[in-house]
Amino acid sequence: MDYPADKMTVWLLDDGGTDEKCNSPNAASAKEAQERRAELQALCAALGVNYLTRARNKSAKAGNLNNGLEHSTGDLVAVFDADHAPARDFLRETVGFFSTEKDLFLVQTPHFFINPDPVERNLGTFTTMPSENEMFYGVIQRGLDKWNASFFCGSAAILKRDALQETNGFSGLSITEDCETALELHSRGWRSLYVDKPLIAGLQPESFASFIGQRSRWGMGMMQILRYRFPPLKRGLKFAQRLCYMSSTLFWLFPFTRFCFLISPLCYLFFSMEIFTASGGEFLAYTSTYMMVNLMMQNYLYGRYRWPWISDLYEYIQTIYLLPSLLSVIANPSKPTFKVTAKNEDMRQSQVSELGAPYFIVFGILLLGVVATAVRVWAEPYKADVTLVTGAWNLVNLIIAGCALGVVSERATRRQSHRVLVDRPCRFLMGDKMVEGTVRDVSVGGANIRLSQSSLPGMKRGALGTLEFKPLSELPVNQLPLEIRKMSMDDKGVLIGCRFLTETPEHHRLIADLAFANSDQWSHFQTRRHQDIGILRGTLWFLTMSLYQTGRGLGYLLGLQRFGASIPPAPAVKEA
């Protein structure tokens, strides 16, 4: 981290090794916790980091953070999730604002992810289409920031201790205390800032189930905030801030609207319930005009951040499980009963997600709706205009549901750690020979290096070597031992795939420097994806993707993926 070392202390808050867990009655988990505690304590000692744990796992993450607040002394507190690796210039980019802005309590930075979320992975859009979170971090938070309403997202942010003391740390009634704390501080007159530069690299949930679980928690938490804090009427907030918080919380009511959108055509097609008293022509005229204008507005406002129809897809995917969650939160705000937990995180096999069954059922129902359309048009020709328009509506739903089938059909990923493409000059040392080369990509566990020289005696699988490069920060050591796992040739030279043999903490620093230190590579990757596909092309692309994914999903349902090709490598974060 590029910051005066004497002004910075790093704390590792470990909730996996609390006393409660170490003394757990379950012998296996107790042992696991104790080992973890020991290992981490050693690592921390080696790296010069303070290790902190607590007695009991109270209040999950908030309690953990509060514990950290109690034990630390700094004026400013930077919070990172365990899987979020900050770049070198994180503090340099954010700390300065605390002296220029008055009453600042938060500087928030975007969450950038080096791996695709389950939707992107299963659809294969990670390298071409902007991520879903970019809409929030790239557009919405910027907008909220204009009105001084950007809120704390749980990680990748700096907060002011004085402010946190006013609220007794991170406290609240909801399961998303980060937003709740920010809301409270805003209402006390504190200000927040958002820096629109990706300065951390994190990991998305691996499986679809964990993805849904995460969203479900966010949704329930926001509902609890709405219920307990009710931002529109909260004292102390400015009018614009009320609107902003209202927007942030009410957004999570989308499952209701999406549900109605799904059900309405079926009400007519199956049960002849006419919800709209309009002729087919009127209905078509109003809705098609509205949709066209809507698509055009969306394209104009954020066409580069969100492609057409993707919002509908994400909404639909989340609705299936978020609707029961929301209902349970509304019914019982303090203790919602509906929880989504991911049981199987094994991603080595391509299979339908454990949460995938409802999607196939809904797809089947919508398909029946199409059949009902045909039957109705044949049997009641005098109502044909209404039936056809409703059938078209149902067809739109069907296309989205078909695409969702592909989303829940999980592709296997081979790699446990995710690659980041870098292009750093380096030197490969084996024995006493040295070869110039370039590190092409690197992950936490290994790297791919291209060597300029074609051959080197002794270079074969299993050989040991050393990687030497110039680190970006001041590090005592700049050599990293590695083991060659794979060799191949292409027209540019020799490619070797290596596994790092990390022994000392210095090696960890080197790896971090290699992979995560440069924040520009994140920006470049995002900018590369910021392409506006346009309404027409976007719609056609979505349509073709949906058809393909429907087929793929049905294939997974029937178990045909076992006859498919070999598992492709996970997509990687590329440099520009």
Partner 1 sequence: MRALLASLLIAFGAAGVQPAFAQGTPFSMSPGRPAAAPTAPAPPPSGPQGAPPTAAPFSMQPAPAGPARSTQQPVAKPPASPDMAPQGPRATNPPQASGAPRSDTAQLVATNSVMSRNGQPLERPLLPFESVRLDGENDSRSWTFHLTHDEAASGASISIGYQNAVVVMPEASRLRAVINEETVVNIPIASAQGIQQTVIPIRAGLLRGGQNIIRLEAIQRHRTDCTIASTYELWTNVDAASTKLVFAAGATRTLRSLEDLPAIGADVKGVTTIRVVAPKVYRPEIRDRLLRLVQMIALRGRYAHPVIQVVESDSGPTPVGTIRVIMGIASELRGMVAALPDAAAVQPLSIMMQDTTNSPPFLVVTGPTWNDLDTAINIVGTAAINARGVERNAVDTASWHWPEIPTVLGERSIRFSDMGVPTQEFSGRRLRVRFAVNFPSDFYATDYGEAALMLDAAYTPAVKPGSHFDIYVNDRISATMTITSRSGVFRQHLIRIPLKNFKAGINHVSLEAILLTDADERCAPGETLSETNRFVLFDSTSFDVPDYGRMGRQPDLAVLSTGGFPYGDLAATFVLARPDPLNYAASGTLLARMARDSGEPVRAQFANAATAGDQSVIFIGTIDQLPPGLLGRVKVSDNLRMIWQSTPAPTNLNPGGTESSNGLLGNAGSGVPSGRMTLDQGDLNSTEEIRKRWTETFQRRGILQQTFDTLRGWMEQTFNLSLASLKFDDATNLPYEPPQRTTLLLAQNRTSGPGSWTVVTARTEEALAKEMARLTSPLLWSQVSGQAVALEPAEAKLDIRPIDDVGFVQTQPLSFMNLRLVAANWMSINILQYALVMVIFCILLGSATYLLLNRLGRRS
For the annotated catalytic residues, the residue numbers are 15, 178
Q: Nearer to partner 1 by C-beta: 5 or 379?
A: 379
Our CB check for partner 1 shows the closer of 87 and 144 to be: 144
Residue 145 contacts partner 1 per CB under 8 A: yes
Q: State in angstroms the smallest separation of the CB of 398 from partner 1.
A: 25
Cα 226 to Cα 151: distance, rounded to the nearest angstrom:
15
Alpha carbon separation from 533 to 6, 225, 290, 537 (Å, rounded): 49, 36, 21, 6
CA 228/CA 216 separation, integer angstroms: 18
Phi–psi pair at 417, nearest 5 degrees: -120, 150
Contact region for partner 1 (CB under 8 A) — 12-20, 171-179, 375-383, 555-563? 375-383
7, 56, 71, 146: which one contacts partner 1 (CB under 8 A)? 146
Token pair for 169: 């740390």
Helix (H) or strand (E) holding 480: strand 479-490
Report how far residue 196's alpha carbon sits from residue 575's, in angstroms, rounded to the nearest whole number.
19
Which of 142/574 has CB closer to partner 1?
142
Q: Which of 53, 67, 122, 148 binds partner 1 (CB under 8 A)?
A: 148
Question: Residue 284 interacts with partner 1 (CB under 8 A)?
Answer: no
Phi, psi (deg, nearest 5) at residue 491? -70, -15
Interatomic CA distance for residues 551 and 566, integer angstroms: 18
Is 3 one of the binding residues for partner 1 (CB under 8 A)? no
Judged by CB under 8 A, does residue 381 bind partner 1?
A: yes
| 203 contacts 88 by C-beta, under 8 angstroms | no
Spatial distance between the Cα atoms of 165 and 160, rounded to a whole number of angstroms: 9
Single out the residue of 70, 345, 380, 520 in contact with partner 1 (rule: CB under 8 A): 380
Residue 302 interacting with partner 1 (CB under 8 A): no
Token look-up 């034990």 returns 71
Cβ proximity to partner 1: between 382 and 563 the closer is 382
Residue 563 interacts with partner 1 (CB under 8 A)?
no
* Shortest separation between residue 465's beta carbon and partner 1, angstroms: 49
The Cβ of residue 387 has, within 10 Å, a number of other Cβ atoms equal to 25
Encoded one letter per residue, x for contact with partner 1 by CB under 8 A and - for no contact, window 229-258 reads -----------x------------------
**Given candidates 382, 491, 503, 565, which one binds partner 1 under the rule CB under 8 A?**
382
Bridge partners, 487 (sequence order): 496
Indicate the SS3 state at residue 534. coil
Where does this chain touch partner 1 (CB under 8 A) — which range of 129-137, 139-147, 435-443, 536-544? Answer: 139-147
In terms of DSSP bridges, do strands 420-430 and 464-469 run parallel, antiparallel, or are they unpaired?
Answer: antiparallel
Cα→Cα distances 160→182, 270, 337, Å: 11, 58, 35
Q: How far is the CB of 14 from partner 1 (least distance, A)?
A: 38
Which of residues 161, 217, 383, 507 is near partner 1 by CB under 8 A?
383
Q: Which CB atom, from 105 or from 126, has the smaller least distance to partner 1? A: 105
Work out which of 142, 485, 499, 528 binds partner 1, going by CB under 8 A: 142
Q: Which is nearer to partner 1, 195 or 355 (CB)?
A: 195
Chain centre distance of CA 508: 25
Which segments of 249-354 are extended strands (E)?
A: 351-352
Per CB under 8 A, residues contacting partner 1 are 142, 145-148, 240, 277, 380-383
